[in-house]
Amino acid sequence: MKAAIRFGLKSYFGGCLGCLGALSLILVLAIILGVVVGPKLMSGLPGILQAIPGMLMQGQSPLGGETPGEPAYTGPVPPMEVFLTNGEDPEGQHITSFTKEQSSQVYFWVRTPKDTSIRFALSLTLPDGRKVQFGPVFSSDPSGNAVNCGQFGDADPLVGNYKLEAAPVGSLVSGGAIEFTITE
């Protein structure tokens, strides 16, 4: 009986020490990753956090694109005013040119006519010709107010001409676009 109790205590404390070892390893890995990858990850964190509600609430797949089975948009494409401001005020001055340093202060906005409720996506054409989706899927404001689609957010954007287009989800036709330039 004494040997069984001794074996049980050894097993118990061995398990506790094993768990402490595993937790220590996880902590060390988290610190190393935080120091090495942390600054780059932290600069992209606002964009990642902004995309999460769109993926969860609006049917976007976490791997990009739309979820299977989402119907194509078939109605007439409403006019969509796409514009940029230097700051978070949609009533501020609309801009079409800014410097690399100012890019972190630039916000994208889309406004649809009053009583128009539509889900839309933004695509950004880069100076090198690549086209990427900007942010998650957005929903227009039926009251006619502009929808904040987020900041430009690239820490080191390419200098050149860009094009930002808004189109209803599932539509190949753009509802509105703006061309803008980033300078040194």
pLDDT of residue 99: 92
The predicted structure's pLDDT at residue 46: 61
Prediction pTM value: 0.61
Classify residue 124 as exposed, middle or buried by CB count within 10 Å of its CB (0-12, 13-18, 19+): middle
Q: Contact at 8 Å (CB) between 134 and 124?
A: yes
- The yes-or-no verdict on residue 56 having pLDDT over 90 is no
Euclidean distance between CA atoms 37 and 28, whole angstroms: 14
Q: Which residues contact 166 (CB under 8 A, 6 or more apart)?
A: 80, 82, 110, 120, 121, 122, 174, 175, 176, 177
Residue 39: pLDDT over 80: no
For residues 61 and 54, what is the distance between their CA atoms, to the nearest angstrom? 9
Summarize pLDDT for 58-73 with one digit per residue, the tens.
Answer: 444 444 444 444 456 6
